[in-house]
Each structure stands twice: as structure tokens, then as C-alpha cells.
Amino acid sequence: MTVTDHSRATADAAHTHGLGTPTPDASRADRPTSFDVDAFTVPTGREEEWRFSPLKDIKPMLADQATDGHLEWDVPALPEGVTLTEVSPADARERSVRAPGDRASAVAAAHAGGAMALTIAPNTVVDEPIQITVTGRGEDVRGHLLVEAGASSEATVIIERRGTATYSEFVSVDLADNAGLNLVLLQLWDEDAVHAGEVVARLGRDSRLRGSVVTLGGKAVRLNTSAAFAGEGASVDLFGLYFADSGQHQEHQLFVDHAVPRCTSRVTYKGALAGATARTVWIGDVLIRKEAEETDTYELNRNLVLTDGARADSVPNLEIETGEIAGAGHASATGRFDDEQMFYLRSRGISEEEARKLVVRGFFADLIQEIGVPTVEESLMKAIDLELEHVNEELAEEHA
Amino acid sequence: MSTLEIKNLHASVETPEGTKQILKGVDLTINSGETHAIMGPNGSGKSTLAYSLAGHPKYEITEGSVTLDGEDVLAMSVDERAKAGMFLAMQYPVEVPGVSVSNFLRTAKTAIDGEAPKLRTWVKDVKKSMDDLRMDSSFAERNVNEGFSGGEKKRHEILQMELLAPKIAVLDETDSGLDVDALRIVSEGVNRVKDNTGLGIMLITHYTRILKYIQPDFVHVFVNGQIAEQGGRELADRLEAEGYDRFLASA
Ligand SMILES: Nc1ncnc2c1ncn2[C@@H]1O[C@H](COP(=O)(O)OP(=O)(O)OP(=O)(O)O)[C@@H](O)[C@H]1O
Ligand SMILES: [Mg+2]
């Protein structure tokens, strides 16, 4: 793979942010948060956090208007100590770890009509993954979701999104002290779905969050994930896997906020792209505040471009305000599966389709193992193979 | 018994300066069990011949024919050629990150045979072949050619040749860049495969050194996209002593 470093990263804060008119040198920490939709102007596409986004697709979700659509929830019998309840709008705000950070998310929270709260009681340890499937029926839907992991609880939660919808959401993830949560968000939408989501996590003292995001389906998916440390000794691992083919826009923005000492963060996102109009964006911001001594952080984004024309943007950004850190680094690389590699594999009898499969499976294999839920790992490999079949068909058509 | 027949082969490549004719009428027949050494100066078109036989998309065949046991090789896709029994050990093997050697070998073997190899014998075969080529078993878990030294890449090519058991193998400078020990190990590997499978070999080389280990049945002098002279082993010695001057002068 020819590796070109597309990283536009700088180890300082020379990076623009902000709403409306971007202010140079503004810290990521300065971005406003609010439940008030009007606190955010309608993005024009020039803002730092919107400049890569397909605003045309996202536009319906920026209007300060109620919708009457719903997703269908398929919830299994929940284990003891775990509940899923509907929460009033006032409570939903109250129980969110913070307010929305952009207009789409503020609109989602404002018009969701309250929230669904998945609550794991303190000291509850659930061995089996809790698998929830939500299915879109082609409607316009706003959602607000609370995931609350009580102190010293331990659970795996998988939320799988299927079908189609124009869906925006605000997801609050609250880890109380010493909680361990493995949260897997699967975007397996049909090809015409549009999804804008903000996931904000707060990590209490000694808590551990493993957050995996998998985006395979949808016409446009924009997921904005933030994790903020509220207590010392906590750790977050954020994994992401995406695969875009022609006509798909997949965008993942991340923000890890080290505000307290002795916390660890790892961000690992990998994406594959195939088809001339496939488009992916990854923006990874990490802020190590002055107080956050002995922070240990590393973020990585790798993209594998399988065909000409596909475009992967990758923007890591590390802001460091203290000299007392244990480790901080980032890496970003976009590689191409090129003609010479293809020739080499084919000269050993491996067909073009098989060659692509070999390379893509190899590219994702270690990441998939990190998700830590065997059933999800298996179904993901299958989903990636399906995705590849799709790609192969598309390429065969292009050649024909 | 297999026969590769190359007749009047012409090939060109597109360059920024225009189409460049590289192969200008190559005639060569290789039968099972025969070893043909091809020697020629840099840039004479040896690798182009090798790539053209394997079907590299960069080279356009403008004239001539290539058949393997009467089948039209030029009409086959790259992978079909491999399945038909052609093998190319490349001068510069390609790195394929993310794909482990063991996965690669198994996938290739399955593709060539049309069915997955029996797991137990396969694991044994791979291990034996790697041992014979003095490749540490840890290579199986490494990514294809990634971070391999020049010599390790060449051994890996011969490993593939042994496991895929082709009818005709083209070895493009498999000996270049090898120290004496590695050269001996690789040559023994080639001889072992030849003894076991009786494959026909086109051995492209700059140095007669390898011919001490691998006995050529024929030596061809390749100059300016053509075979300029053929002979036996003694021709190689003469080339080593005299160089290519007498061919270049007439070319
Ligand atoms: N893709 C290409 N684009 C432009 N020129 C090429 C290309 N491939 C080969 N050539 C040219 O064709 C000629 C023959 O190249 P080739 O690699 O076949 O030579 P060779 O005999 O294998 O040389 P060496 O002994 O150095 O390996 C050279 O002049 C080379 O520069
Ligand atoms: Mg060459």
C-alpha cells in the first residue's frame, strides 16, 4: 500500500474552530453547548465542524421544527438491574451529561419529545450483551437517548440502526464512578438513510468506556462523538470502522477532553472507500487541559482507498496545555490498494474480487477484534463481505 | 509434459513521451523439465518479457502469440494464467500490508486448485517448505513482503512457487542481491521444485554465479527486445568473460 500522510495535524492549537465566523487559534474547548436551538446559527458549510459535511442532506435536520416520525424499537427482555424508560423533556435535559454541541443535535434534543433512557443500576454486572435494534420506516425522526451506567456496573450495549430514516439524535452516555461500559453503535442503515448524531460521554472516576462505532450503511452519516473525563483514573477507547462506496458520505468527528489528571484515551478509526464518489471524513480532536497531568493519549486514523476517485479526509488535532503528560500522539495515513498489489495477488491465481476481500478483511481484522463482542465481530465480517460484493458489482458495471 | 510457446512476441508500454516498443519479436519454447537461462544487459526488456507473460496491464502485446499446451495465454486474465500453470517470481515483489503470508498462501493455493487444501497436509507442507528455505515460521504471520529484506522477499517467491506447483515458472533475477548462502538456499529450493514437479523454468539473470547451482539446458542472450543468440552453458561463461559488447555493437 502506498502510504501518503494526509494528516493536516499540528501538535499545537493552530487550527480553526467556532460558529459562524471561525476564530483562528480558538481552542476546541471554546465551542458552545446549549439546549437552545437558537444558540446555533444555521451552518453555511464554512464552519470548521461543517466544512466537510453534506449540508444538502443534513439540512432538513437543522430546521427548528417538530416531526412526527419514529423509529421502531426492538428491545429484548432486559436483565435485572437494567431498565429502558421514557423520560420527560425536562428530565431528559437534566439527566444529559451536557447540552448539545451543534445545531443538528440541539434540534434533535428539542424535538425528540423527551428521551429514551437505558439505565444500568449501580453494581449491576451484566454478562450477556444487551442488543437493541431500532429500525427506520422512512420517516423524519428526532431522537434523544440516555445511556446511564451506574457506579461499579458492568455491561455491553449494542444499538443497531437499520432500515431508512432522516434521523438526527442526541445521545448522552453517563458513566458513574468505576463503571465499565462497552457501547457499540452500528449504523447498518439502508442506502438512502441520512443520519446526524451527537454522542457525548462523561466518564466518572476510574470508569472505563469502550465505544465502538460501525458505519456501513446510509447515504450520509455524520457522527460527532465526545468523551470528557470528570474524574481521575478513567479510560476511554473509541473504535470506529467505516466502509463507504459510491454515493456514500461518512463522517466521524471525535473530541476527547482531558480535563482531569491521570486519564487514558485511545482513538482508533479505520475506513475503507470504494467507488468514484465515496467520501469519508475523520476529524479527531484531543484536548489536554492544564489540569490534566499524566494524561496518556493516542489517536489513529487509517484509510484504505480501493478505487480511483474516492476521497478520504483525515484531520487529527492535538491541543496540549500542560507539559506534564505521560504520552500523547497521533497518526493519520491514507493508503491505496494499488494496481501493483492487485497484479501481485492476481498473478498468484487470486481473482480481483478475492484480492479485494483479502486486503479489506486484513485491514479491518485487528480492529474488529477490539469490539470485544463475538457475535458482533462475526456479523461485521459478514457485513463487510456483503459490502465488498456490492463494490465488486459496482466496479464490474463501471468496467463494462 | 507441458510446453510454453512464445512466437514473435512484440510488446510496448505507454510512456509520457509516447508509445515505447520494448519487445521486438521474441521466439522461445520452454518444455517441462527444461531450464532456460536468459541473460542480457540492463534495459534490454527481460522483465518486460516476464511481465508480458504474466499479463501485467502496463504492457500491451502488439504482435505475436503465447500458448501453454496450445491454450492462448494472451487471451487469459492475470489470475487465469496462474491457474493455467504460469508463475512469475518477481524481480521486485510487492508489499501487501494487512494480508498475512499464511492467509495469502492459503488463498492462492485455494484459487489455483479450485478447492481449499486439506488443512493438515497444508500446514505441514508450508512448514516444510519454509524450513527448507530457512524462513523462520514467524514469517507466516507477517504481512506479505512488508519489511522483508531483499533476500527474504526472494525466498518468499520461491516458497510460493513450491507450494503452488506451476507448470512453467519465470524467475526474474531471483538471484540478484542475494549473498552466497542465500543464493545456495534459493537455488536448492528451485532444484527441489524442479525435481519434484518437473516444471519448466525461464531463469532471468545477470550473473553466471547462479548457474553453478542451477544447471541451464539452454542459454539465451537477450538484447534490445529480442533473443540475439542461443547456446548451452558455455555461452554463459563466454558472456561473463566478454560481456555483451559484441551484441550491442551489431544491435
Ligand atoms: N512502465 C514503463 N514505463 C516506461 N518505460 C518502461 C516501462 N517498463 C519498462 N520500460 C523500459 O523498457 C526497457 C526495458 O525494461 P525492462 O525492465 O524490461 O529491462 P530489463 O532487461 O529487465 O532490465 P534490468 O536488467 O535492469 O532488470 C527499459 O528501457 C525500461 O526503462
Ligand atoms: Mg529486469
pLDDT 10s digits, A268-284: 999 999 988 999 999 99
Does the beta carbon of A350 lie under 8 angstroms from any beta carbon of chain B? yes
| Mutation target among B107, B143, B157 for the A interface, most CBs of A within 10 A | B107
Give the chain B residue nearest A364 (alpha carbons): B98
Return the SS3 of A103: helix
End-to-end CA distance of chain A: 26
Residue nearest to atom 6 of ligand 1 (CA): B13
In Å, how far is B210's CA from the nearest CA of chain A? 25
- The span from the CA of A296 to the CA of A294, in Å, is 6
In a domain? residue A187: yes
Q: Which long-range contacts (CB under 8 A, 24 or more apart) does B212-216 make?
A: B213/B183, B213/B184, B213/B187, B213/B188, B214/B35, B214/B187, B214/B190, B215/B35, B216/B35, B216/B36, B216/B37
* Contact B174 CB / ligand 1 (< 6 Å): no
Q: Which residues pair with A189 in a beta bridge?
A: none
Phi-psi region of A263 (alpha: psi -120 to 50; beta: other; left: phi over 0): beta
In a domain? residue A255: yes
pLDDT at A18: 30
Task: Flag the least confident range among A44-53, A150-159, A363-372, B48-57.
Answer: A363-372
pLDDT 10s digits, A3-33: 333 333 322 222 223 333 334 456 888 899 9
- The span from the CA of A332 to the CA of A316, in Å, is 7
pLDDT 10s digits, A332-353: 999 888 889 999 999 999 999 9
**CA distances to A13, A151, A352, B84, B170 from A308, in Å:** 33, 49, 15, 30, 31
In a domain? residue A162: yes
Cβ proximity of A54 and A248 under 8 Å: no
- The span from the CA of B59 to the CA of B43, in Å, is 15
In a domain? residue A348: no
The arithmetic mean of pLDDT across residues A56-81, rounded, is 96
Q: Which residues of A touch B81 (CB under 8 A)?
A: 347
Task: Report CB contact under 8 Å: B97, A335.
Answer: yes
* Contact B225 CB / ligand 1 (< 6 Å): no
Phi-psi region of B225 (alpha: psi -120 to 50; beta: other; left: phi over 0): left
Task: Report CB contact under 8 Å: B99, A359.
Answer: yes
* Contact B43 CB / ligand 1 (< 6 Å): yes
Phi and psi dihedrals of B184, rounded to 5? -65, -45
Ligand 2 centroid from CA B173, angstroms? 7
Query: Where is pLDDT greater, at A329 or A396?
Result: A329
- Cβ atoms within 10 Å of B123's Cβ, excluding its own: 14
pLDDT 10s digits, A231-267: 999 999 999 999 999 999 999 999 999 999 999 999 9
Cβ proximity of A149 and A123 under 8 Å: no
Structural domain range at position A34: 4-337
In Å, how far is B246's CA from the nearest CA of chain A? 36
Phi and psi dihedrals of A362, rounded to 5? -65, -40
pLDDT at B29: 98
Compute CA A373 distance to the chain's CA centroid, rounded to the nearest angstrom. 18
- Domains of chain A: total: 1
Task: Indicate if the pLDDT at residue B207 is higher than 60.
Answer: yes
Closest CA to A213 of A193, A192, A189, A242: A242
pLDDT at A338: 86
* Contact B15 CB / ligand 1 (< 6 Å): yes
Query: Smallest Cβ distance to A354: which of B77, B100, B107?
Result: B107
Considering only the C-alpha atoms of chain B, give the largest distance between any 2 of them, rounded to a whole number of Å: 57
The arithmetic mean of pLDDT across residues A111-132, rounded, is 97
Closest CA to A256 of A16, A93, A29: A29
* Contact B150 CB / ligand 1 (< 6 Å): no
- The span from the CA of A393 to the CA of A149, in Å, is 43
pLDDT 10s digits, A292-333: 999 999 999 999 999 888 999 999 999 999 989 999 999 999
Ligand 1 centroid from CA B114, angstroms? 34
| Mutation target among B79, B95, B172 for the A interface, most CBs of A within 10 A | B79
Does the beta carbon of A362 lie under 8 angstroms from any beta carbon of chain B? yes
Task: Report CB contact under 8 Å: B94, A344.
Answer: yes
- Domains of chain B: total: 1
Q: What percent of chain B has pLDDT over 70?
A: 99
In a domain? residue A48: yes
Query: Smallest Cβ distance to B88: which of A335, A347, A365?
Result: A347
Q: What percent of chain A has pLDDT over 70?
A: 93
Cβ proximity of A124 and A155 under 8 Å: yes
Does the beta carbon of A349 lie under 8 angstroms from any beta carbon of chain B? yes
* Contact B154 CB / ligand 1 (< 6 Å): no
Question: Of ligand 1's atoms, which has the minimum distance to the CA of residue B49?
Answer: 18
| CATH number where B192 lies | 3.40.50.300
pLDDT at A391: 83
User: Among residues 295-314 of chain A, which lie with CB inside 8 Å of chain B?
Assistant: 304
Q: Which residues of B touch A348 (CB under 8 A)?
A: 79, 82, 104, 108, 111-112, 160, 164
Ligand 2 centroid from CA A71, angstroms? 61
Query: Smallest Cβ distance to A362: which of B77, B83, B99?
Result: B99
Query: Smallest Cβ distance to B98: which of A343, A350, A363?
Result: A363
In Å, how far is B241's CA from the nearest CA of chain A? 36
Task: Report CB contact under 8 Å: B98, A351.
Answer: no
Per-residue 3-state assignment (H helix, E strand, C coil) for chain B: CCEEEEEEEEEEEEECCEEEEEEEEEEEEEECCCEEEEECCCCCCHHHHHHHHHCCCCEEEEEEEEEECCEEHHHCCHHHHHHHCEEEECCCCCCEEEEEHHHHHHHHHHHHHCCCCCHHHHHHHHHHHHHHCCCCHHHHHCEECCCCCHHHHHHHHHHHHHHHCCCEEEEECCCCCCCHHHHHHHHHHHHHHHHHHCCEEEEEECCHHHHHCCCCCEEEEEECCEEEEEECHHHHHHHHHHCCHHHHHHC
Question: Of ligand 1's atoms, which has the minimum distance to the CA of residue B40?
Answer: 21
Residues of B with CB under 8 A from a CB of A: 54-57, 77-79, 81-83, 87-88, 90, 93-100, 103-104, 107-108, 111-112, 143-144, 160, 164
Structural domain range at position B24: 3-250
Does the beta carbon of A396 lie under 8 angstroms from any beta carbon of chain B? no
Q: How many residues does chain A have?
A: 400
pLDDT 10s digits, B31-68: 999 999 999 999 999 999 999 999 999 999 999 999 99
Considering only the C-alpha atoms of chain A, give the largest distance between any 2 of them, rounded to a whole number of Å: 64
Side chain identity, residue B137? S
The helix or strand, by DSSP H or E, that contains position A367, with its residue range, turns out to be helix A352-370
Give the chain A residue nearest B113 (alpha carbons): A349
In a domain? residue A289: yes
* Contact B121 CB / ligand 1 (< 6 Å): no
Cβ proximity of A48 and A18 under 8 Å: yes
Ligand 2 centroid from CA B48, angstroms? 7
* Contact B153 CB / ligand 1 (< 6 Å): no
